Structure 1
Amino acid sequence: MSYVESIALKSHRKRSGLIQEDVALLIGAQSASQVSRHESNEREPDLRTAIAYCIIFDAPIRQLLPKLFREIASEVHGRAARLSGKLASADDGLHQSYRIDVLRQVTARIEMFDFTA
């Protein structure tokens, strides 16, 4: 993980001019320490909190939480590849070729992500 990636959320907060206490109030946290743990990647925010960060900083999750985004993208990529292989070797008749095409599109989109940014 790059240094820039490890401080993505913090840099958005600092650019906004808000302090951790402000953000904690906005996301509904009990204290600024929760924001600190998110900024340092010690703890992943839950979905509601991640969406709140997106709203506050007007930025996508991919920018705010790049480490988490990359981990999830990698997991989905692996699962999609396995499911595509499973479908290719079975004949379930449930729109199989369409489903395989959708899975290929999913894996291709993930492979296009620029994780160095």
Structure 2
Amino acid sequence: MTQAYPIQNRLRKYRKHAGITQQEVARRVGVSSPSQVSRWERGERLPNLTQALRLSALYNRMVNDLFFDLFDDERGRVAYSPLITLD
């Protein structure tokens, strides 16, 4: 079974995969301090649209990859897991 990951886990995973620090992400995305990146990665805040576009370019991902889980299940289909659910 495939597990869905919240945005904060994906942001952390993409940054570590890129081999860069939170300080470097902050500089390249244009936020004032690494603590903002840390808040994103802890799920306390979300990046705004401009920041999300810069993050997607930095991590060489589509912006949708930051907010939605796209994965192949056992049948080879692509499934969507929304960031926010209306329960």
More contact order relative to length (CA 8 Å, sep ≥ 6): 2
- Give the Cα–Cα distance (whole angstroms) in 1 for the partners of residues 63 and 40 of structure 2: 13
Unaligned runs of 5+ in 1: 68-111
Report the aligned-residue RMSD. 2.2
Deviations 1:60-81 (A, max 9, x none): 12222338xxxxxxxxxxxxxx
Alignment of 1:35-74 (within 5 A): 35-66=37-68
Alignment TM-score, normalising by the size of structure 2: 0.69
Structure number, greater radius of gyration: 1
Q: What is the TM-score when the length of structure 1 is the normalising length?
A: 0.53
- Which 5+ residue runs of structure 2 have no aligned equivalent? 70-76, 82-87
Give the C-alpha shift of residue 3 in structure 1: 6.5
Larger relative strand fraction: 2
Identity %: 30
Deviation at 1:113, TM superposition (A): 6.1
Deviations 1:38-84 (A, max 9, x none): 122211111110000011001012222338xxxxxxxxxxxxxxxxx
Larger helix share, 1 or 2: 1
Equivalent position of 1:101 in the other structure: none
Which 4+ runs in 1 deviate beyond 6 A?
Answer: none
